[in-house]
Each structure stands twice: as structure tokens, then as C-alpha cells.
Amino acid sequence: MRALGRKLVQSNLPHLNAVILNAGIGGWTGLNWPLAVWTILTQIRQATAWPMFKLGAAGLITKPQFPQSRSSLGFEEPVLGEVFCANVFGHYMLVHGLMPLLRACGPDLPGKIIWTSSIEPSDYNYNPNDHQGLKTDAAYEHSKRLTDNLALSAGDQPCTADSVREYTATTPSTRAGSTRAELSAPVFHLGHPGVCTTTIIDIYAILMPFYTLGIYLARWCGSPWANVTIYKAALAFSWLAFAKPAEIKSKEFAYTGSNKGQVKWGSSTTRWGSTSVKPTEVQGWGLNGTGKPFTDTWWAGHVGRKYGAKDATVEDVEEFIATGATAWKQMEQLRKEWEARIDAYEAKQEKPSSNGSLL
């Protein structure tokens, strides 16, 4: 990630208008087929958007980040959660390295950091005491709830401001000789692709047509999130990347009656295939963190809402922001620790040996 960041910063790109951080891996081992069949037959809209039948593995870790053939690195390398690293931390490290390019955008069109979440995560999925999701068998949902916490609390929140400011600042290491002017701070956006057919869940190829048919049936039964194709699922991210700030705020106001908060934007499709971008409920946050009830909004009832969901209260929003502040502090601590390890490793590689060669 650091090498890629440096390569782009040292290139002749004048700036980066937007970085879309796409999903990584699921960490699933299979499906509970009896439960999958039953829930799809009895509650297809809910079963496709919020499946309860995925089987996940706990404790998945990445391969070592540094070469292990050397006798000593000079430090002990800690483990990294595989799903956490692929879905969150790798993106997080890369974007910090790209800050000189993102901050080179003008103040009227600041650089955009667009995180990819999912329709799935619930408030119980992220556990601050298990930040990397090593103890849960729902590491994917954990990583996506963490993504929600980070992106939605990164706005104008006093308790996250210091961490966000540190993260979005440039350093001598990230500048890498860049002479670009710093014109603005980047902004954070959050989107999700709804439900579409991909290979992130490993199932037999012979079952893929039935998988696709199931999502079509969910759409025809009224699910607004059943996009089926990845082309339709990408709409929210394309729109966030190209829309001007005023257009995003205007759409937020049209749906929520306010433009004071952050929104999780989802790709949506009607029964007949017409696409649009719609705000998505986040447990504990609501539509935009204002604590405003929204039971009378476009989805009416349970068509596009998880069964049992409740409007977020002001107290819920405060707790969500507090969790976001904790998550930001942990991410920044982890980033600084790993950057220090990388710096130490690079310094060791560049240190001349007694015979004048490089170690």
C-alpha cells in the first residue's frame, strides 16, 4: 500500500478527485443450506438483503507483512485480521498515503474518500474490544459496521475531529517530495451496492443461475436493494464520485429534510429495473444522524427496512458517535504503529553493511 501511494504521489497526476474503496473478502466458509432455502421461500426480501444463513470463520489472519527469511526484523510482527485488513485497514493505510493528491483538490470540489459498506451490518456487529474482528465468526459484517462508524462519524464531530485531522494531514513520508499545494481537506462519503450477483460468496457455478433468480424474485416482490447486476450496484459509487457537493446535499435534503449529517447512500432498483440512489438506514444513526423519525419515508413499512428496525433516537446517535470516536482512535493508533514498523524495516534495508553492500 505504501509503495502504491508513493508511486502515485511521485507521478505527474495533479490531484485525485475521488478514491473509491471497494469491498475485499467475506471470510465465509459456506452456507447453512436448510436455513437459506427456508428463509428465501418465506421472507425473500429480508433473506436476500439481510441473510442469516452465511457461515463464517473466526480468527482468520493475514500472511506476515514482512519477509520472514531474515534472521531478525528488529521487532515482533503482530497479527492482522485478514478480513479487517482486506476490507478496512488496507484501504485506510493507502488513503493516508494519497493525502497529497487528495488535498491538492480545490476547495469548491474537495477530494472524496468513498467507503464501500454493505446493506447488512447491525449495531451489534462491531465490538470495540475486538477491533480487528478476530473473535467473531461474522468478521465481514464486523468490518462493514466499522466502516459505517468511521465514515459517518468523520463529519463535523468534535470527538472525532483530532483523529480525522491527524489522518488527513500530510507528513514528510506521505509527501514523498511532492510540491503540490494543499488547497483543501478531503471529505468522506459512504455507499453500498445493495444486493447483486458476485463471487464473494463461494458457491458452485451450477447454483449461480438460481442465486441470480432469487435476487430477481426479491426485486419483483418489492425489495429496493435487489440490483442483481454489478453495473446497477455501482450506481451509488459512480454518483458519489461525480456529483458536486451541492448536488449531494440537495438530494440529502430532499429525502431527510436536512443536510446537516452524513448519509449512507445505496444503489436501488425498482421492480422494472429503473435505478436510483437512495439513503439507507443505519442502526443507531438513522438516515443522517439527526435523530429524526423517518417511518413515513419512501420505503413505507418493511419493504426496504430490516425487520425489527427502530428509528434512531438522539441518545442512539450520541452512542454511535462515541463508538465512532473510539474506532477512529484505534485506527490511528494502529496506523502509526504499522508505519513505525515499516519505517524501521526500510531503514534496516537501506543501512550499509561493513563491506559496503546493502542489507
Nine-digit cell string for 32: 447453512
Cross-strand bridge partners of residue 280: 264
| 199, HSE (Cβ side, Cα atoms, 13 Å) | 3
Which of the residues 112, 144, 251, 264 is marked catalytic?
144
Q: Do β-strands 18-21 and 112-116 pair in parallel, antiparallel, or remain unpaired?
A: parallel
Q: Cα–Cα distances in Å, from 275 out to 17, 191, 247?
A: 24, 15, 17
Task: Identify the CA nearest to 326 among candidates 159, 169, 123.
Answer: 159
Q: What is the Cα–Cα distance from 42 to 354, expressed in whole angstroms?
A: 73
Please list, residue by residue across 298-336, b when 16 or more beta carbons sit within 10 angstroms of its beta carbon and e when fewer do.
ebeeeebbeeeeeebeeebbeebbbbbbbbbbebbebbe
Cα–chain center distance at 170: 22
User: What sign results for the dihedral spanned by CA atoms 157, 160, 163, 164?
Assistant: negative
- At residue 30, the 3 state secondary structure works out as strand
Q: Do β-strands 264-269 and 275-280 pair in parallel, antiparallel, or remain unpaired?
A: antiparallel
Asked about 140 being catalytic, the answer comes back as yes
Which of the residues 112, 117, 268, 278 is marked catalytic?
117
Residues 6+ apart with CB under 8 A from 10: 176, 177, 178
Which of the residues 126, 140, 167, 345 is marked catalytic?
140
Asked about 144 being catalytic, the answer comes back as yes
Check: CB of residue 197 under 8 Å from CB of residue 230.
yes
Which residue type occupies 297?
T
Active site residues: 117, 140, 144
